[in-house]
């Protein structure tokens, strides 16, 4: 196994605004190891979401190198980015983004179907085990509208782990939750990261939960520094 699940080397991202060039990220480098839970903090507009999009193969950097597990991304093989996102990355968004017409267990089984074109018994068992890990075994056949906000976010995290990703990317996962439920969700991300030896990178404004992560990076004006 590679030492790092995610490596971003000398990442720069610029946009043209008329005749002006706006540089959002300036020579940013970070690496996240397997079993490591890292957080990125910083003010609005500092480049956090842009960096997360680049780490998730959703956005190309203007310059720099992105490596996810053993896969080096480049513009030359962009046709493979969908496969990388599907098989090597798990996403947790600010809102849970569950499909309203699918039961909880089917939210997870859909990930396997999208990856392989069929439902496999071992992945169905994996889905049930993940939901049990998150205390949702009694909610398998519930639709999202019957779940609390915290339960929905827990389903979303379990779904993100379904494809055995190298890296879990979480964009403000506590934004729609109260303090107690938000902390519980981040604790679950931490625990599952350790249990399954995955890596996790979280963007957050909530500095009260930073004691739960292994490393903290701060972005300001497009530049990144490691705080611990």
| Tens digit of each residue's pLDDT (9 = 90 or more) over 93-128 | 877 789 999 999 999 988 777 666 556 778 888 899
pLDDT average, residue stretch 152-161:
90
Q: Which pLDDT band holds residue 153 (cuts at 50, 70, 90)?
A: confident
In whole angstroms, give the CA distance from residue 39 to residue 141. Answer: 33
CATH number, residue 115: 3.40.50.300
CB 189 within 8 A of CB 173: yes
Whether 137 shows a pLDDT value over 50: the answer reads: yes
Which residues touch 20 (CB under 8 Å, ≥6 apart)? none
DSSP annotation string for 145-193: GGS-HHHHHHHHHHHHTTT--SEEEEESTTTTS-HHHHHHHHHHHHHHH
pLDDT average, residue stretch 172-184:
86
The total number of residues shown for the chain amounts to: 228
Dmax (CA) of the chain: 57
Structure-model confidence comparison of residues 3 and 202, the more confident one: 202
CA atoms within 13 A on the CB side of 161: 27
pLDDT score for 1: 47
The total domain count for the chain is 1
Q: Is residue 128 helix, strand or coil?
A: helix
pLDDT average, residue stretch 139-153:
92
Whether 2 shows a pLDDT value over 70: the answer reads: no
| Tens digit of each residue's pLDDT (9 = 90 or more) over 211-224 | 999 999 999 999 99
Burial tier of 65 (Cβ tally within 10 Å: 0-12, 13-18, 19+): middle
pLDDT score for 76: 58
Domain span at residue 88 reads 4-226
pLDDT score for 117: 55
Structure-model confidence comparison of residues 94 and 153, the more confident one: 153
Question: 2-41 burial, b for 16+ CB within 10 Å, e for fewer?
Answer: eebbbbbeebebeeeeeeeeeebbbebebbbbbebbbbbb
| Tens digit of each residue's pLDDT (9 = 90 or more) over 180-208 | 888 988 998 999 899 889 999 999 988 88
pTM: 0.89
Q: Which pLDDT band holds residue 31 (cuts at 50, 70, 90)?
A: very high
Whether 75 shows a pLDDT value over 70: the answer reads: no
Mean pLDDT, the chain, integer: 89
In whole angstroms, give the CA distance from residue 96 to residue 110. Answer: 15
Which residues touch 117 (CB under 8 Å, ≥6 apart)? none
Distances (CA, A) of 180 to 8, 89, 174, 191, 195: 33, 27, 10, 17, 22
Residue in 51, 59, 37, 53 with CA at minimum distance from that of residue 9: 51
Q: Which of 23-37, 68-82, 143-157 has the lowest mean pLDDT?
A: 68-82
Question: Percent of the chain, pLDDT > 70?
Answer: 95
In whole angstroms, give the CA distance from residue 212 to residue 207. Answer: 10
């Amino acid at each position: 196994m590679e030492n790092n699940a995610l490596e971003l080397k000398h990442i720069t991202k610029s946009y043209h605004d008329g005749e002006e060039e706006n540089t959002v990220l300036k020579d940013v480098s970070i690496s996240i190891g397997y079993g490591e839970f890292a957080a990125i903090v910083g003010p609005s507009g500092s480049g956090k979401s842009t960096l997360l999009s680049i780490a998730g193969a959703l956005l190309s950097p203007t310059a720099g190198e992105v490596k996810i597990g053993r896969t080096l991304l480049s513009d030359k093989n962009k046709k493979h980015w969908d496969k990388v996102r599907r098989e090597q990355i798990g996403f947790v968004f600010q809102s849970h983004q569950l499909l309203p017409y699918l039961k909880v267990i089917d939210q997870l089984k859909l990930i396997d179907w999208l990856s392989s074109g069929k439902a496999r018994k071992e992945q169905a068992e994996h889905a049930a085990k993940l939901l049990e890990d998150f205390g949702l075994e009694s909610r398998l056949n519930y639709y999202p509208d019957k779940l609390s906000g915290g339960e929905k976010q827990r389903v979303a995290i379990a779904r993100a782990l379904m494809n055995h990703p190298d890296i879990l990317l979480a964009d403000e996962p506590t934004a729609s939750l109260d303090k107690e439920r938000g902390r519980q969700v981040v604790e679950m991300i931490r625990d599952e990261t350790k249990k399954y030896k995955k890596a996790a990178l979280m963007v957050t404004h909530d500095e009260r939960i930073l004691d739960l992560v292994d490393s903290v990076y701060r972005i300001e004006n497009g530049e990144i520094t490691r705080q611990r």
